Homo-oligomer: A and B are copies of this chain.
């Protein structure tokens, strides 16, 4: 059973963060899940930003700490136009207030039963969310997001759940990289339940599907939402393992390819794939939709996920036997990468 942190421990944990946490320190000493999750997402943000800045070598993260008028705030860290990364954003947000009607509709549509009071529903949400777009087309884009949600229903009943995932979007297929990525995630999952990886791998393939294109956004990873069993404690530990896996699943791939040479044609194909990334995020992504529908949300932090540049060509179809055709085939028929 976790106990309250003493002031000194807490201060030392916070000293490595990118900025002071959204919640004032005295509020974070309680051992409740909201405090523990806020500390975890702040730690994850700092760990990932430091690892990426080191790999990049050319630029560092700018840090924006912002308040939300309706309650809460966040810390957005962005590295733009680095040596390795075109645009890398790692965002923490800790918000509370009342859910928008649109968000209630979205949650109900995925099967939640929510008892509102005069249509109002107080919520608390926190998470770390990141999209990293590299310059080199041989280095894949990564996205991850880990979040915790609490809702208080009209009768005082509290609902809570965890959500999250990590997924990879390469421009070109490199089997070895993808296996490393999935293997690292699988190991994080397997520490908690042998059912997690297969289940969340499939969930990821289903979720990151661009329906109107008949293609996945990338080569998957893991994704889950609305998780509330076996227990808050078990799930927190699982989320912690997933968050710890971000750097080891991705940074070695970046190191391996960051100096690969590439042609203008390869850069062009990357830009077209970035267009698909934009399509998924603006048309389907649940987090983006939730953000756009939440009054007072910080739009620049939500749309940080969009690439620096993207391209749409009418009827561009690569030949089936090209390297471009090779990745498309996998995006159209998701594969199992590890067993």
Interface residues of A in 286-320 (CB under 8 A from B): 292, 299-300, 302-304, 306-315
With both beta carbons as reference points, the residue of chain B lying nearest to A312 in the complex is identified as B306
Chain B residues whose CB sits within 8 angstroms of the CB of A212 once the complex forms = 292, 299, 302
* A260 vs chain B, min Cβ distance (A): 24
Residues of A within 8 A of B (CB): 64, 76, 78, 80, 87, 89, 211-213, 271, 275, 278-279, 282-283, 292, 299-300, 302-304, 306-315
- The residue from B64, B309, B314 contacting A271, defined by CB atoms under 8 A apart: B309
- Taking the full assembly, how many copies of this chain does it contain? 2
* A219 vs chain B, min Cβ distance (A): 22
- The residue from B64, B299, B303, B310 contacting A310, defined by CB atoms under 8 A apart: B310
* A81 vs chain B, min Cβ distance (A): 9
Contact between B312 and A307 (Cβ–Cβ < 8 Å)? Answer: yes
Query: Do A314 and B87 contact each other (CB < 8 Å), given the known contacts A212-B299, A292-B212, A306-B275?
Result: yes
Query: Do A303 and B312 contact each other (CB < 8 Å), given the known contacts A282-B279, A292-B212, A292-B283?
Result: yes
Contact between B307 and A309 (Cβ–Cβ < 8 Å)? Answer: no
Chain B residues whose CB sits within 8 angstroms of the CB of A315 once the complex forms = 64, 78, 300
Lowest 10 A-B CB distances belong to which pairs?
A282-B282, A306-B312, A78-B314, A212-B292, A309-B311, A212-B299, A300-B315, A282-B283, A310-B310, A304-B314
- Alpha-carbon distance A275/B299, docked complex (angstroms): 14
Chain B residues whose CB sits within 8 angstroms of the CB of A314 once the complex forms = 76, 78, 80, 87, 89, 300, 304
